Amino acid sequence: MSVTILAIESSCDDTSAAVCKDVKILANLVAGQKVHEQWGGVVPELASRAHQLNIVPVVDQAIKQAGIAKEEINAVAFTRGPGLIGSLLVGVSFAKAFALALNVPLIEVNHMQAHVLAHFIDNNPQFPFLCLTVSGGHTQILLVKNFLEMEVIGETLDDAAGEAFDKSAKLFGLPYPGGPLIDKYAKLGNPDQFTFAEPQIAGLDFSFSGLKTSVLYFLQAQTKKNPDFISTNLNDLCASIQKTIIDILLKKVEKAAKANGIKEIALAGGVSANSELRKRFEELGIKNGWKTYIPKFEYCTDNAAMIAISAHYKYLNGDFASQSTEPLARYHI
């Protein structure tokens, strides 16, 4: 029997809908929200309103693009959390109503688990594997034992890696989200031009809030001497901060791989769209004899295809949600 799932992702500032038939993604649409750019970060209230405007056309388009009839949908999946509560509410409410109208089951998905399971869209990592999930809200190293069984073995104590990118970019005067812009300008800069102190955190945990402060103090001191310091050194600043963030991430991944004796290593989440991180992760894999996995670019940042694929495995397990399910702003794996 084949299984067709409609999935909704609305945890932050992207409204996304996807359709998968078994493990094949038939459509994956993402409507971004430009409205946040001018505010230097996601404004939760504006995000919820934009989701409400986007959700019907995005779902409609996804179903059309998938070339299916609504009646073929076997279950409706949604992101339950973690995320912004107002944004989640829009997706959860829509999914409940749609499932009720079609008289099919609902499936709730953990957004962080979905980032990991995005690997199974085009690939097949062998269990157990390690996954470094780096996004705007989270930074975790997971021991993935099975599709739905994962253990957090390291995580950030404060800011996420994506926040380190975005907050540094903001200090450089770049719009939100600054991560992709740092990636772009870093290609033209010297990563060894400036050095920022790496935090010394025990075990497999991370910390990024000190880095942001050291960038701030460094820029304050330099712009006092030269008001044009940032604009004249933008490429080198981007390359140097990017290198520091990547060094912090990869040292812990290497440590985790050695400590667990695992050589199947995956990278996931929005920051895994970073070109230098992808390159250095693969180089580190070659050095250590790992089999490395990185999702396709469109499955790194937030998307409903990863929700659909996760829901597929839950469907096979008969793991359905009730109509009284509520979204969870904090939702641990």
Which residues here bind Zn ion, judged by CB under 5 A? 135, 302
Degrees, nearest 5: CA angle 40-200-258: 105
Binding partner selected for residue 159 from ligand KG4, Zn ion, none, CB under the kind-specific 5 to 8 Å limit: none
d(CA 99, CA 144): 30
Binding partner selected for residue 133 from Zn ion, ligand KG4, none, CB under the kind-specific 5 to 8 Å limit: none
Binding partner selected for residue 236 from ligand KG4, Zn ion, none, CB under the kind-specific 5 to 8 Å limit: none
Residue 21 or 115: the one with the smaller Cβ distance to ligand KG4 is 115
- Which H or E element spans position 67? none
For residue 217, the minimal CB distance to ligand KG4 (Å) is 22
Residue 21 or 51: the one with the smaller Cβ distance to ligand KG4 is 51
For residue 274, the minimal CB distance to ligand KG4 (Å) is 3
Residue 183 or 236: the one with the smaller Cβ distance to ligand KG4 is 183
d(CA 20, CA 198): 42
For residue 271, the minimal CB distance to Zn ion (Å) is 10
Residue 98 or 183: the one with the smaller Cβ distance to ligand KG4 is 183
DSSP 281: H
Residue 170 or 252: the one with the smaller Cβ distance to ligand KG4 is 170
Q: Which residue is nearest to ligand KG4, using beta carbons?
A: 270
d(CA 101, CA 89): 18
Residue 292 or 303: the one with the smaller Cβ distance to ligand KG4 is 303
For residue 103, the minimal CB distance to ligand KG4 (Å) is 32
The answer to whether residues 302 and 270 touch, using CB atoms and an 8 Å cutoff, is yes
For residue 38, the minimal CB distance to Zn ion (Å) is 22
For residue 12, the minimal CB distance to ligand KG4 (Å) is 5
d(CA 7, CA 59): 9
Report residue 162 as tokens: 């994506």
Binding partner selected for residue 162 from ligand KG4, Zn ion, none, CB under the kind-specific 5 to 8 Å limit: ligand KG4
For residue 39, the minimal CB distance to ligand KG4 (Å) is 15
Residue 325, CA atoms < 13 Å, CB-side half-sphere: 27
d(CA 101, CA 85): 24
For residue 156, the minimal CB distance to Zn ion (Å) is 14
Residue 164 or 234: the one with the smaller Cβ distance to Zn ion is 164
Could you tell me which residues are beta bridge partners of residue 264?
291
d(CA 99, CA 32): 25
Residue 116's closest CA among 314, 327, 293?
293
For the chain, how far is it from start to end, CA to CA, in angstroms?
29
d(CA 64, CA 187): 39
Residue 241: other Cβ atoms inside 10 A: 28
Q: Which residues bind ligand KG4 (CB under 6 A)?
A: 12, 135-137, 162, 165-166, 177, 179-180, 182-183, 269-271, 273-274, 301-302
Binding partner selected for residue 179 from ligand KG4, Zn ion, none, CB under the kind-specific 5 to 8 Å limit: ligand KG4
Instruction: Tell me which long-range contacts 199-202 makes (C-beta under 8 A, separation of at least 24).
Output: 199/248, 201/157
Binding partner selected for residue 295 from Zn ion, ligand KG4, none, CB under the kind-specific 5 to 8 Å limit: none
Residue 162 or 327: the one with the smaller Cβ distance to ligand KG4 is 162
